[in-house]
């Protein structure tokens, strides 16, 4: 009995790790690397000589795919479109299955479709002149904060002479742009402390555990023991974001006219939709649902985007020869008289290749978001039982020599073809298929604009004692950077 528990697994499934009580194979992943247990997976891929392996996380049977072919297959087949919804995520959703990210109930399709269709009207995921103009204004505010110093005590926490605190300096711009689409409003500079707090909450929401999802996902009763495994921090950060949205509802929710509701941003459009519901099959529209849908769009922009930009800056500091090439290209295409715009992206080829290379080598979502098999199926000859959790190891795929040749080297040129143009991109930092990150286009727009603007204006220097090694990382759903001061030297 004990032997079958430890070694057993469904028939004809991928080779797998042993299983122990309570957390299953998770014990072995922790043994290999406590903070980043996903890195232990590489050991078992080599041991089993298989790019597809299996294990148990708690009571859940899990299949982990680790190469390009396997990950693309999983992300593009409807049999794997389900989500692994833990009790923790249900608690986050007011005890229900709401939102888009951590939901596979029937209404997630409807909510995603409604959100994307209506957010596009306000500039999400497509070219929109007002949004691009607003972005230039936000970039100008960020540059003024860095160049001319703080105007209040809040800004003193991010600018001290020529020292700038990353990623916090990026927070207001990242949130304000998406918030303008959600609400039709932007916070002015004197209120940026509110946006910084929102981003801190978003960062805590995705940190504090580990990259496999953590112990509280497998044993939700641990939440009753204070902040063990950062549960309390996670939940308080979630409430902080929800209260940020409720602040807008309390201010505007009932006072908007019908005309205003159609023009004040996505939240107002959603409220108008709720008011005008006619058919029972649209009963999934509610305030709680709206709050979770908005959170699912906002928290990546508030945490992942600043993380990627900070990674870009860190790699420029460690590879100054690459930074000089990026700066030379920006000087040639854009000059110094204005900030880079979205239209410049097609001509800033090496700059774009550099961003792609950073997102590849410093994958911030190592295991992405887990999927679930919604029916019995097969994957490369293996049987995959219904309800199997499917994990896509993006870090392994982004570091696979079979795909990249020399993945350990930071080399933006790998994204260029023989003609010096951008070639096929085999990386998947935003996933793929129907569950592709809905904010990919907007996130790439933000990362490109902010990174190119910072590199255009400044050189970067290390500050003694600050955690700026490429190995300085904080575990979580996304792998983040420790906050750090960087010296910004204006280019002349």
Q: Which residue numbers belong to the known binding site?
A: 437
The residues, ordered by sequence, that sit 6+ positions from 144 with a Cβ below 8 Å of its Cβ are none
What's the CA gap between 423 and 426, in Å, rounded? Answer: 9
Task: From 178, 168, 102, select the one nearest 442 (Cα to Cα).
Answer: 178
Q: In this structure, how many other beta carbons lie within 10 angstroms of the beta carbon of residue 205?
A: 25
Residue for token pair 């953590």? 214
Binding residues for heme: 437
The answer to whether 50 touches 42, Cβ cutoff 8 Å, is no
- C-alpha angle 428-434-440 in degrees, rounded to nearest 5: 50
Enter the tokens of residue 352.
Answer: 């774009």
Enter the tokens of residue 240.
Answer: 């902080």
- C-alpha angle 19-23-26 in degrees, rounded to nearest 5: 70
Q: Following DSSP, what letter does each residue of 236-283 receive, concatenated?
A: HHHHHHHHHHHHHHHHHTTT--HHHHTTS-HHHHHHHHHHT--SGGGT
H-state helical runs in 58-105: 68-76, 87-92
């Amino acid at each position: 009995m004990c032997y079958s528990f430890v070694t057993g697994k469904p028939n004809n499934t991928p080779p797998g790790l042993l299983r122990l009580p309570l957390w299953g194979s998770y014990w072995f992943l922790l043994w290999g690397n406590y903070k980043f247990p996903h890195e232990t997976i590489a050991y078992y891929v080599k041991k089993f000589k298989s790019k597809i392996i299996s294990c148990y996380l708690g009571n859940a049977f899990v299949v982990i795919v680790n190469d390009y072919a396997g990950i693309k297959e999983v992300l593009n087949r409807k049999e794997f479109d389900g989500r692994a919804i833990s009790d923790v995520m249900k608690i986050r959703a007011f005890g229900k299955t709401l939102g888009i990210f951590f939901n596979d109930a029937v209404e997630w399709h409807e909510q995603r479709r409604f959100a994307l269709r209506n957010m596009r009207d306000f500039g999400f995921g497509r070219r929109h002149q007002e949004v691009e103009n607003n972005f230039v204004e936000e970039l100008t505010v960020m540059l003024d904060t860095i160049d001319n110093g703080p105007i209040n005590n809040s800004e003193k926490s991010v600018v001290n002479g020529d020292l700038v605190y990353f990623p916090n300096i990026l927070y207001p711009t990242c949130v304000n742009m998406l918030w303008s689409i959600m609400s039709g409003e932007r916070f002015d500079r004197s209120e940026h402390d509110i946006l910084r707090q929102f981003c801190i909450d978003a960062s805590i929401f995705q940190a504090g555990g580990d990259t496999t999802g953590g112990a509280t996902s497998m044993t939700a009763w641990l939440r009753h023991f204070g902040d063990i495994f950062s549960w309390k921090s996670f939940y308080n950060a979630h409430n902080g974001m929800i209260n940020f949205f409720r602040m807008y509802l309390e201010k505007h929710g009932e006072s908007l006219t019908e005309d205003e509701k159609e023009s004040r941003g996505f939240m107002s459009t959603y409220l108008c939709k709720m008011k005008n519901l006619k058919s029972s099959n649209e009963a999934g529209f509610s305030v709680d649902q709206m709050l979770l849908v908005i959170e699912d769009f906002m928290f990546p922009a508030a945490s992942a985007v600043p993380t990627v930009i900070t990674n870009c800056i860190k790699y420029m500091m460690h590879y100054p020869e690459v930074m000089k090439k990026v700066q030379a290209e920006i000087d040639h295409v854009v000059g110094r008289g204005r900030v880079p715009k979205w239209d410049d992206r097609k001509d800033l080829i090496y700059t774009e290749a550099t961003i792609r290379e950073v997102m590849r080598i410093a994958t911030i979502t190592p295991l992405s978001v887990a999927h679930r098999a919604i029916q019995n199926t097969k994957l490369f000859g293996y049987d995959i039982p219904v309800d199997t959790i499917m994990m896509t190891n993006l870090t392994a795929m982004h570091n696979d020599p079979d795909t990249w040749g020399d993945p350990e080297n930071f080399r933006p040129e790998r994204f260029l073809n023989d003609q010096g143009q951008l070639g096929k991109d085999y990386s998947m930092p935003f996933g793929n298929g129907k569950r592709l990150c809905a904010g990919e286009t907007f996130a790439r727009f933000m990362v490109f604009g902010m990174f190119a603007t910072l590199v255009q204006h400044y050189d970067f220097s290390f500050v003694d004692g600050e955690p700026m090694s490429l190995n300085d990382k904080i575990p979580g759903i996304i792998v983040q950077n420790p906050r750090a001061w960087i010296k910004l030297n204006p280019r002349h």
